[in-house]
């Protein structure tokens, strides 16, 4: 079973790629700093629930979709 943080990072990166969204764009839209987003994507920080909700909303997906294993692959 994969770690949920790994799944979230994979889905964040996949959705950013699909939407051609930069880290700066996502961070601004989600209301977090670029450094915080970079730390999340590098798995150096564990985001709080409200941060995950903001990231999901910024990517036009639900929190459940953000945490679903393989979600990014099904959205190609």
Which domains are assigned to the chain?
4-64 (1.10.260.40)
Residue 74 predicted with pLDDT over 80: no
Cβ within 8 Å of residue 26, ≥6 positions away: 12, 16, 37, 55, 58, 59
Listed residue (10, 1, 4) closest to 49, CA to CA: 4
Predicted confidence band at 71 (pLDDT cuts at 50, 70, 90)?
confident
Global pTM value = 0.90
Predicted confidence band at 2 (pLDDT cuts at 50, 70, 90)?
confident
Residues 20-69 pLDDT 10s = 999 999 999 999 999 999 999 999 999 999 999 999 999 999 999 999 99
């Amino acid at each position: 079973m994969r770690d949920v943080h790994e799944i979230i990072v994979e889905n964040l990166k996949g959705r950013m790629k699909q939407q051609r969204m930069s880290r700066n764009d996502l961070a601004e839209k989600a209301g977090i700093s670029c450094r915080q987003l970079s730390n999340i994507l590098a798995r150096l920080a564990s985001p709080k629930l409200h941060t995950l909700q903001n990231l999901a909303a910024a990517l036009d997906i639900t929190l459940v979709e953000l945490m679903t294993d393989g979600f990014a692959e099904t959205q190609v």
